[in-house]
Amino acid sequence: MDKVKYFFQQSWLLIVASFFFGLLIAVANAGWQGRILQNEKDKFNNLVAGMLPGAKISDEIDPEIVEVETGKGKKKVTFVRKAVSADGEHVGWAFTCEGSGFADKIKLVLTVDTGFEKLKGYGVLSSNETPGFGDKIKDPFYREQFDGAPTTELVLMKLGDPANNADSKIVAISGATVSSEAVVVIVNTFLGQIKSHMQEKGLIGNGK
């Protein structure tokens, strides 16, 4: 009992301070949550416009909600958004996908054509991969390989021609194989399941 009493006598200030700062962080986070979500939405829209030139995501078009199995019994809900041109023409689909990288979670924006036959590329929404190595997943050398690739299962290769983006082979970044593989795994995990969902709902053709 004396030890417990001594512990509280010596640590009461630390306990109170921890509670106070924890409360302060929670309040600040709640206050900034709206801004954080808006910034992510703006970045999402900008990335989509870069991959589907002239396209925009209309808030008037309800997204398709898809629950994706990410492994080990875990599921992730993502929203498949319809991208349209200035005159309202359907030009593609866009959605977020995420998974574990080398250093931390990688969150991507993936775009595909209207029929879910070809990838239109990906953009990095958030990533903390190693500077100079894993963060090269943001570089054109790697990203451009996905533009035009078929929406079948992608395969990571250590060697190959990165300029050939008409097949399913993706050439890894030298010195960053783990980050390269993480992107391919994330894309494969989400793309296949979302494509199947879209086919089942009749939003795209079957057998493509």
Is position 55 within any domain?
A: yes
Question: What's the pTM value of the predicted model, to 2 decimals?
Answer: 0.81
Is position 34 within any domain?
A: no
Q: What is the pLDDT of residue 10?
A: 56
Is position 1 within any domain?
A: no
- 68-121 pLDDT, tens digit per residue, is 999 889 999 999 999 999 999 999 999 999 999 998 999 999 999 999 999 999
Per-residue pLDDT at 28 exceeds 80 = no
CA 205, CA 184: separation in Å to the nearest integer? 24
Q: Which residue has better confidence, 144 or 163? A: 144
**Is residue 197 classed exposed, middle or buried when 0-12, 13-18 and 19+ CB atoms within 10 A define those classes?**
middle
Is position 24 within any domain?
A: no
Range(s) of the domain holding residue 60 = 51-200
Is position 188 within any domain?
A: yes
CA 138, CA 122: separation in Å to the nearest integer? 9
User: For the chain, give me the number of helices (H) and strands (E)?
Assistant: 3, 8
- Give the total number of structural domains in the chain: 1
Is position 100 within any domain?
A: yes
Is position 190 within any domain?
A: yes
Whether the Cβ atoms of residue 93 and residue 83 lie closer than 8 Å to each other? yes
User: Does residue 126 sit in helix, strand or coil?
Assistant: strand
**Mean per-residue pLDDT of the chain:** 87
Is position 194 within any domain?
A: yes
Q: By C-alpha distance, which of 83, 78, 79, 82 is closest to 49?
A: 83
Amino acid occupying residue 67 = E
DSSP state of 4: H
